[in-house]
A and B are shown apart, each in its own frame.
Chain A
Amino acid sequence: MDPIFLKVLIGITLLASSAAVVGTFSYLKGQSLVGDAIAHALLPGVVLAFLLGDGRNPMLLILGALISGLFAHYSIGYIKSRTKLKSDTAVSLVLSTFFGFGIMLMSLTQRSGQGQQAGLERYLLGKAAAITMDDVYVFSALAVLLMVGVGLFYKGFQLMTFNEDFAAVIGLPVPLIRLTFTVLTVLAITVGIQAVGVVLMAALLITPSAAARAWTKSLPAMLLLAALFAAISAITGTYISSVIAKMPTGPWVVIVLAIIGFGSLIFAPEKGWLAKRRRAMANQKKTVLENVLKLMFQQEELSDRNVVLSNTDIMDIRAIRPEKLRNALTDLKRRLLVVEHSSGYALTELGRSEGRRVVRLHRLWELYLTERLGMAADHIHPGAETMEHVITPDIEELLVKELGNPELDPHQSPIPYEED
């Protein structure tokens, strides 16, 4: 691989990761939009610095961006505290004003024919290929500094994000922590726009942490994952924009990030869409199986003997779709809860006990509803139909205790306990 390209790649990876790490705290603070506003607001500072430094001085660029960004940040705060405007209004106001001003400066440059427009445009959408070696060194150093800063201020940032009042009360230097965070945010955005440009910077700040949040519940792990996701996207984006001519880097980075983001929302364990879907299916299946066992137990209760029921018998008593019932019975047979006879199915001892349990929970809950929640006896059945599948053994124990080992439910049916 081309060694220069490799250096650029490492630089881009570092700066994307550091932006994502700082962005994680913005995300957790619910300030995603503020990052977007600051990114846009950097433009005037960047353009001015570009003109002054003849487009070659990265330090000047950082300074310009920093001043412009801090100015925007404090303008938002000032507008919020001095007017009755809501937060989102203040943010949009600053974003559009600063960005508009930046674009105006850019076109002025163009008109005066200073000839660096091509160089300037990379700050709009990012163009990794246009980055010089000087840039790579300066921005990589800055990225490392950012990560060290977050590491150093970890406790402060964590508490400021979770419970700022508490941080103030225990005497932490909250103004210093806030200022540090603001400066780090602006610097992170300054380095980040080298990769994706101001327009798409919000994605680099926020999407990695949103994706990481789906996979983990610990803050350190979330910071690491966000950095990793950002790195993967930055590398992919840089690679594509360097092999395909005239391709901006930013949009590719953002598209890869979006894929990781949506992928996380779909596939993440517990919180992901698939996991939710799987839980819903499992609950549905449990409900059907338990309903069949309950029904068979109730038939035995009615006739006072063991019964054999065919599929049609069952469907006559309770509306269950035929194929659902067939699947349920196969499952019950496999779990040794029912046995198959020539004329239908019968409960095993294990299945009888399970059916008895469901009926017991149903009746206990009905009793609880009438006794404790004062509900009328003709209103309680639907609720109990659900609760019989939800109540766990320890809640059952509490129910029995609270109701004083009751014998009969509100409809005078006996509550069937396990015979010892």
Chain B
Amino acid sequence: MEKSIEVHNLTVSYHSKPVLWDVDFSLPTGKIVGIVGPNGSGKTTMLKTIMGLMKPDSGYTEVFGQPLDNVRERVSYVPQRESVDWDFPADVMDVVLMGRYRKNNLFRRISKDDKRIATEALEKVNLLEFAHRQISQLSGGQQQRVFIARSLAQQADIYLMDEPFVGVDAATEDAILQLLREMKNQGKTVIIVHHDLHTANEYFDHIVLLNTRLVAAGPKEKVFTKELLQEAYGGRLTLLSKLGDLISTEEFPLREPEFKENKPEK
């Protein structure tokens, strides 16, 4: 089976403090995958590294067996809702159309095709009647759906979403979940950063349990066990956090140059 994402011995630090230590796993295609762990466990960092927004100290990530740059058009990203200023002067349609921006149409006007695709995306998240509503006037759940519509407009094969269920009402949560299942049925891969254990088992087929280090990755039946959950949510390992603090205060490089474990050149 084709791998959607491959994470190879990944170490990433933030302000020179390691947030991911030697994480290594791969994910299947056509599944809804949850990256699950407590606050500050490196989930968002994981996603940002896969999306090329953060540079690893060591190791590498691949999408569909290739570096991200080769497959960008097949990958879609939904950032955390709070990461943007919703007071920005734009309406819902403006934002969804951003999902159609590409390197090769940056200087061109928005096409009729783009508009049609954006309209379809809005229809799928049930926001068509809000197309010309100001984004500042939307509820949290509606804002989240706008972001998902923008992502749908990218017409990708794999979708990475950062906490799409945070701060949305129950009805929106159901609607998003329904949509994700439809996407899965069409063979798309959906990867979701999620912190809520209660719903994780119900939502995902495949789970990556993360707490700075990798606790477990696999089909949910294998990963969602009491022991593993306790390991992930039982607090960070004292030794690891002490060492992390030390590396940060001493400003010590995380890897010597010859051990960066970059993707071997072919």
Task: Choose the segment among B82-90, B186-194, B212-220, B223-231 that binds chain A (4+ C-beta atoms closer than 8 Å).
Answer: B82-90
With A166-B98, A172-B101 as known contacts, state yes or no: A218 contacts B89, CB within 8 Å: yes
Docked complex Cα distance between A219 and B154 (Å)? 23
> Is B107 an interface position by the 8 A CB rule?
yes
Q: Are B89 and A170 in contact (CB under 8 A)?
A: no
> Is A217 an interface position by the 8 A CB rule?
yes
Q: Are A162 and B84 in contact (CB under 8 A)?
A: yes
Q: Are B89 and A165 in contact (CB under 8 A)?
A: no
- Which chain B positions have C-beta within 8 A of A165? 48, 51, 53, 77, 79, 83
- 1/0 contact trace for A213-240 toward B, CB 8 Å? 1001111001000000000000000000
- 1/0 contact trace for B55-76 toward A, CB 8 Å? 0000000000000010011010
Interface of A: prevailing SS = helix
With A165-B53, A166-B79 as known contacts, state yes or no: A173 contacts B89, CB within 8 Å: no
> Is A175 an interface position by the 8 A CB rule?
no
Q: Are A171 and B88 in contact (CB under 8 A)?
A: no
For chain A, which range describes its interface: under 10, 10 to 19, 20 to 34, or 35 or more residues?
20 to 34
Docked complex Cα distance between A172 and B73 (Å)? 11
Q: Are B72 and A171 in contact (CB under 8 A)?
A: yes
Q: Are A213 and B102 in contact (CB under 8 A)?
A: no
How close is A397's CB to chain B, nearest CB, in angstroms?
15
Docked complex Cα distance between A172 and B103 (Å)? 5
Docked complex Cα distance between A162 and B83 (Å)? 10
How close is B171's CB to chain A, nearest CB, in angstroms?
11
> Is B91 an interface position by the 8 A CB rule?
yes
> Is A168 an interface position by the 8 A CB rule?
yes
Q: Are B85 and A162 in contact (CB under 8 A)?
A: yes
Q: Are B91 and A217 in contact (CB under 8 A)?
A: yes
Docked complex Cα distance between A28 and B91 (Å)? 15
Q: Are B84 and A163 in contact (CB under 8 A)?
A: yes
- Which chain B positions have C-beta within 8 A of A169? 51-53, 72, 75, 77
> Is A31 an interface position by the 8 A CB rule?
no
How close is B113's CB to chain A, nearest CB, in angstroms?
16
- Which chain A positions have C-beta within 8 A of B143? none
Q: Are A162 and B72 in contact (CB under 8 A)?
A: no
Q: Are A155 and B101 in contact (CB under 8 A)?
A: yes
Q: Are B101 and A159 in contact (CB under 8 A)?
A: yes
- Which chain A positions have C-beta within 8 A of B136? 217
Look across to chain A and name the residue whose beta carbon is closest to the beta carbon of B151. A166
Look across to chain A and name the residue whose beta carbon is closest to the beta carbon of B75. A169
Considering the complex, which residues of chain A in the window 163-204 have a beta carbon less than 8 Å from any beta carbon of chain B?
163, 165-173
How close is A124's CB to chain B, nearest CB, in angstroms?
34
How close is B92's CB to chain A, nearest CB, in angstroms?
12
Identify A166's interface contact among B52, B69, B72, B77, CB under 8 A: B77
Docked complex Cα distance between A222 and B53 (Å)? 31
For chain B, which range describes its interface: under 10, 10 to 19, 20 to 34, or 35 or more residues?
20 to 34
- Which chain B positions have C-beta within 8 A of A153? 106-107
> Is B262 an interface position by the 8 A CB rule?
no
Identify A162's interface contact among B48, B90, B107, CB under 8 A: B90
> Is A370 an interface position by the 8 A CB rule?
no
- Which chain B positions have C-beta within 8 A of A173? 103, 106
> Is A156 an interface position by the 8 A CB rule?
yes
- Which chain B positions have C-beta within 8 A of A152? 107
Docked complex Cα distance between A152 and B108 (Å)? 8
- Which chain A positions have C-beta within 8 A of B49? none
With A28-B89, A216-B89 as known contacts, state yes or no: A162 contacts B98, CB within 8 Å: yes
- Which chain B positions have C-beta within 8 A of A28? 88-89
Docked complex Cα distance between A153 and B101 (Å)? 12
Docked complex Cα distance between A158 and B98 (Å)? 9
Considering the complex, which residues of chain B in the window 87-135 have a beta carbon less than 8 Å from any beta carbon of chain A?
88-91, 94-95, 98-99, 101-103, 106-107, 134
- Which chain A positions have C-beta within 8 A of B51? 165, 169
Docked complex Cα distance between A305 and B95 (Å)? 58
With A165-B53, A168-B52 as known contacts, state yes or no: A222 contacts B69, CB within 8 Å: no
Docked complex Cα distance between A172 and B52 (Å)? 13
How close is A162's CB to chain B, nearest CB, in angstroms?
5
Q: Are A213 and B89 in contact (CB under 8 A)?
A: yes
- Which chain B positions have C-beta within 8 A of A166? 77, 79, 98, 150
How close is B132's CB to chain A, nearest CB, in angstroms?
10
Q: Are A171 and B102 in contact (CB under 8 A)?
A: yes
Docked complex Cα distance between A169 and B90 (Å)? 20
Look across to chain A and name the residue whose beta carbon is closest to the beta carbon of B72. A171
Docked complex Cα distance between A102 and B103 (Å)? 41
With A152-B107, A217-B134, A217-B136 as known contacts, state yes or no: A170 contacts B101, CB within 8 Å: yes
> Is A75 an interface position by the 8 A CB rule?
no
Identify A171's interface contact among B95, B99, B103, B107, CB under 8 A: B103
> Is A57 an interface position by the 8 A CB rule?
no
Docked complex Cα distance between A275 and B33 (Å)? 48
- Which chain A positions have C-beta within 8 A of B85? 30, 162
- Which chain A positions have C-beta within 8 A of B84? 162-163
Look across to chain A and name the residue whose beta carbon is closest to the beta carbon of B84. A163
How close is A202's CB to chain B, nearest CB, in angstroms?
21
- Which chain B positions have C-beta within 8 A of A163? 79, 83-84, 98
- Which chain B positions have C-beta within 8 A of A217? 89, 91, 134, 136
Residues of B in contact with A (beta carbons under 8 Å apart): 48, 51-53, 69, 72-73, 75, 77, 79, 83-85, 88-91, 94-95, 98-99, 101-103, 106-107, 134, 136, 150, 154
What are 21 A-B contacts defined by CB distance under 8 Å?
A30-B85, A152-B107, A155-B106, A162-B85, A162-B88, A163-B79, A165-B77, A167-B101, A168-B52, A169-B52, A169-B53, A171-B102, A171-B103, A172-B102, A172-B103, A172-B106, A216-B89, A217-B91, A218-B89, A218-B91, A222-B89
